[in-house]
Amino acid sequence: MVNFHGLKNKHLFLADGTTQVAVKRLGRMGPAEIGFLEEVETIGSVHHFNLARLIGFCAENKNRLLVYEYMSNGSLEKWIFKRDLNKDLNWATRKKIILGVAKGLAYLHEDCRHKIIHLDVKPHNILLDESFNAKISDFGLSKLIARDQSQLLIGMLGTPGYVAPDSTVTVKSDVYSFGIVLLEIVARRKISDSSRSESIFVLPQMLEKKGGDGDDQDQLIDIVEDLDEDMENHREEVLRTIRIGVWCLQHDHTRRPLMSAVVQALQGLTEVDPDIIYKFSHPTASASKSNHQDHLISVAPQASILSGPR
């Protein structure tokens, strides 16, 4: 598989030369071509400013190609984890990215004809345009459910470190993943330190220590790596955003907010739940040994048709 935002300088132009695009190549799809086409049609009909736009696709012979709009600043992953780039992301830009991702997920969960659960929300799948507007991409694991349906009876799908500790799949599964991404953006830390022999889940451990006392939650600012003047000048806003992230990570999925509530909280229109719990379920040791940016875990009998071989 070739990630459509990872083609380096091999991005393409449409025949008229006016639109820059990027191409994602999927593996062989087998006999399920009708399902593939139906799912592509569904994703192609979803339009929101904070979703990467699917322009077209190819399903000819063995070729399975998806054509997306091209994002000049690539994935969020490189901007928040590479030390030579993250200095360019000031607090205002980080807020903009966080809010954009929240709005995109809120649209998928609450404003589409069917609820769409992404199931692989992580920095690698969040693209940035030239103005650092966030666009959610890669719907290869996404699931569609009826608006009156609350959950899916499948095993959990996703990337180690970002997968919710839930027994069933609901929109709150994405809320959990979003909470991890939010905290990674604010803290400039990966959820885990995979360079160690046994991966240490840094962020959950730090949050339990800093927020567990309850009274002095100013200590939450300590999760921010290389705290600079810009972040200090917005200290209260940073602390509030961290608390929103923790709200999204509640072990009991019913205590996590809907993404529309997250959007309102990020905009300062509603308050964060004052009774959030700073105790988290850490991912399993077996999952943690994988490189969390590149590997998927699944205990489901089947993945989404659109994903193809991963």
What's the rounded Cα separation, in Å, for the pair 33 and 308? 11
92 with 56, same domain: the answer is no
Q: How far apart, in whole angstroms, are the C-alpha atoms of residue 44 and residue 57?
A: 9
Q: Looking at 48, 69, 90, which one is the last position of a domain?
A: 69
Beta-bridge partners for 158: 297
Q: Are residues 127 and 238 in the same domain?
A: yes
Structural domain harbouring 48:
12-69
Q: Which of 53, 69, 85 corresponds to the end of one domain?
A: 69
Q: Which long-range contacts (CB under 8 A, 24 or more apart) does 71-74 make?
A: 71/5, 71/22, 71/127, 71/128, 71/129, 71/135, 71/137, 72/129, 72/130, 73/127, 73/128, 73/129, 73/130, 73/132, 74/5, 74/127, 74/128
- Choose the final residue of a domain: 50, 69, 88: 69
**Domain match, 119 and 136 both:** yes
Q: Which of 237, 185, 245 is nearest to 210 (CA)?
A: 245
Q: Active-site positions?
A: 120
Residue corresponding to tokens 């027994």: 167
> What residue type is assigned to position 182 of the chain?
L
CATH number, domain at 49? 3.30.200.20
Spell out the per-residue pLDDT of the chain, length 310, in tens.
333 444 433 455 566 554 677 777 766 555 445 555 655 766 777 889 999 888 877 777 776 777 888 899 999 999 998 877 666 789 999 999 999 999 999 999 999 888 889 989 999 999 999 999 999 988 777 777 766 665 654 555 678 889 998 888 899 999 999 999 999 999 988 887 665 545 567 788 888 888 876 556 788 999 998 889 999 999 999 999 999 999 999 999 999 999 999 999 999 999 999 999 998 875 543 343 334 444 444 433 333 333 332 2
Q: Does the residue 6 lie in any domain?
A: no
Q: Domains in the chain: how many in total?
A: 2
Q: Is residue 3 part of a domain?
A: no
Residues 208 and 120 occupy one common structural domain: yes
Rounded to two decimals, the pTM is 0.81
Candidates 218, 10, 188, 42; CA nearest to 115 is 42
- C-alpha distance from residue 232 to each of 31, 180, 223 (Å): 56, 22, 13
